[in-house]
Amino acid sequence: MVKCSFCERKAVYVNHLNGKAYCKLHFISYFERKVRRTIRKHGMLGEKEHIVVGVSGGKDSMSLLHLLHKLSKKNKNWRLTAVLVDEGIRGYRENTIPALKTYAERNMVEYRIVSFKEYLGFTLDEIVSIGRERGLPYLPCSYCGVFRRYVLNRAARDVGGTVLATAHNLDDIVQTYLMNIINNSWDKIARLKPVAERGGHEGFVPRIKPFYEVLEKESAIYALVNGLVRPDYQQCPYAEYNIRFTIRKILNDLEEKYPGTKYGLLRSLEKVSGLIENAQKNVLKSFETCKICGDPSSHPICKACMYRFELGILSSEESSRVKYVINEYPYLRKFLARF
């Protein structure tokens, strides 16, 4: 049995970088101090905020909600609202919703549950089915990622949030970094920042990633020692179709053999994203307004509306408008699988 480096209790976590072992109490202190330092370092939160926390009911998001709830009790100028997006994944999402409800009701945390069905008219299962019937090449995670961001931003705006906190941890970020390198998507790398600001568009709720320097393993342990999730937490059934699933395994193997690999990749990301942003003269800080839905977008039509057009789930009037805009901006065709 490994003992805590600071007391005689049993260790629940060993940090292979600093060689220290932590019992439950010292681990909680270590974890929370690390996240507070990240928040301060990147100026994520001001004196007065309405923090919307994107929650899935899983280990990372429940850990983030719990920690921000603890911090908000010390700062009376912070208001906290948890928002859970129910994508509509049969046999999965309904199993994670109770974790949020139980926590929120026990701790008197304001929360709201929204859904793809409410904002898009279809569940993710239905969207995936439609995409397959139409022969579209997109993976379920592609739809989910785009539509989750779309719905979360709208829901955060609807409840009056001043900032949207997501539980993306260090593992998520470096996995996305490698995926973008593989796909030659260098413009997206510059967006992998701990803070995403408005970019001149009032419709975009600024986003923060308080777990930017937290390992997935650490947030999982924090959730377990605080009793925030069940030990038998399920993985999304669509995850196996994503390249992320493979990259995650490779990175975990490298980290185990060469501790510090993930932090090294994060430092690499920071340097590369800075170079890209300077080369593009901060063009990534500006948003356009989607000509279909009015939400912030990097292009005249946002990715969510592009997907909805290809899926055939826009109204006839909206579809006609998409075709008109594409004719006006022909380069948008490259973002479509077919037209």
Among the listed residues 273, 241, 257, the one whose alpha carbon sits nearest the alpha carbon of residue 174: 273
Is 4 annotated for ligand binding? yes
Cα 105 to the chain's mean position, in Å? 24
Are 225 and 67 in contact by the 8 Å Cβ rule? The answer is: no
Distance CA 20, CA 324 (A): 61
For 261-265, the CB contacts below 8 A with 24+ separation are 262/170, 262/171, 262/174, 262/215, 263/17, 263/170, 263/213, 265/174, 265/177, 265/178
Is 141 annotated for ligand binding? no
Is 293 annotated for ligand binding? yes
Are 303 and 147 in contact by the 8 Å Cβ rule? The answer is: no
The contacts of residue 221 (CB under 8 Å, 6+ apart) are 12, 13, 27, 31
List the binding residues for Zn(2+): 4, 7, 23, 26, 290, 293, 302, 305
List the binding residues: 4, 7, 23, 26, 290, 293, 302, 305
